A and B are shown apart, each in its own frame.
Chain A
Amino acid sequence: MTADVRVDDPAHPAPLAPLARLAHLRRSPLGHRAEEFEARSVPGPHGVRLREVPYLAQLNLRVDPASPAAARAGRVLGTPLPARAGRVAVTGGVRVLWLGPDEWLVVGPDGAAPAIERSLRQALDDEPGPAGAGASAVPPASVASVVDVSANRTTLELSGPSARSVLEQGCSLDLHPRAFGPGKCVQTTVSKVQVVLDQLDAEPSYRLLVRGSFAQYLADWLLDAMEEYRRGDA
């Protein structure tokens, strides 16, 4: 089993194939509860649905937003990095979430992480730092990094007419359309759990990116909060 797993050697980067062959072994934090989520989702005009979207590619990008490298990273991604707090840029299947004044989370489909990471590293290449170490003799004006953090969080998708109402039971932020909506994201707490909350559309549907070790608790809390909306349709 371990014969294909090689120790990282910078001179001979390990091929991706062995990892891909192990893909059937991976377990998402909530994979075993998919049927339960389906059964406890509430249909109807006041309904709300919960499902896990496992294995999304997530890359943490840090770069000075005023630097040429940030502009190049934007061109590689197909959209400028969102400059304003709590904004999301959408390009193809990739969403670029603002996390901080020099920090973004690039969220893409399962399996896209290596390709996105490679192209971002090339884009950042003349910036000194982890992503472009040694590429330039110029004294560092800024540093940049791109790190694959896909395994850090799993994603819960909460959607349906009552989705906002469910979230509001555990989140003190104003999620009303006058203050929040598609194209916006926040890092906050939902029922005391840190999440990255990203609104996908106006239905509304939301993505909650949550650490794997908190996912069970958050899912339990959401299912409990969804329960009361079943009554109206019974």
Chain B
Amino acid sequence: MLLIACPWCGERDETEFHYGGQAHVAYPADPEALTDVEWGAYLFVRDNPKGDFAERWVHTAGCRRWFNVVRHTVTHDISAVYPAGQPRPSQESRPQNEVTA
């Protein structure tokens, strides 16, 4: 089981959270202007990296807040946890509340 550090509540079991898919998928500025293919890509096409992946989680059984996690899709190592709305931290400047796996 993953141990995920909620930015508010601290480290909790994975079972207290729900997964929210890829983070930083921006809503199109003008959805009406998109072709069906572009709209379909926005809705359904997601990155599938073998490596670090920025994804959204919500602390369902706790404070019920959404936040972002950078998780390695092979090792499950969590290299960063940061509030929703913030840009993905670079490898060099990790936030203070990083999880050391």
Contact = CB atoms under 8 A, between A and B. Distances in A.
Nearest to B15: A189
Most buried by A among B12, B62, B65: B62
Contacts of B65: 100-101
B1 to A, nearest CB: 9
B48 to A, nearest CB: 31
Contacts of B46: none
Given A100-B63, A101-B63, A187-B62, A85 B8 contact: yes
A186 B6 CA distance: 13
Interface string A47-74: 0000000000000000000000000000
What are the nearest 3 A-B pairs in CB distance? A100-B63, A187-B62, A85-B8
Contacts of A192: 15
A194 B18 CA distance: 14
Interface of B: 8-10, 12-13, 15-16, 61-65
Nearest to B62: A187
A188 B62 CA distance: 6
A188 B15 CA distance: 10
Nearest to A195: B61
Contacts of B15: 189, 192
Contacts of A119: none
B65 to A, nearest CB: 6
Contact of A172 (B13, B62, B63): B13
Contacts of A99: 63
Contacts of B12: 173, 188
Contact of A86 (B9, B13, B16, B61): B9
Interface string A72-116: 000000000000011000000000000111010000000000000
A188 B63 contact: no
Contact of B61 (A85, A100, A187): A187
A23 B82 CA distance: 47
B13 A186 contact: no
Of A103, A188, A194, the most chain B CB neighbours within 10 A belong to: A188
B26 to A, nearest CB: 24
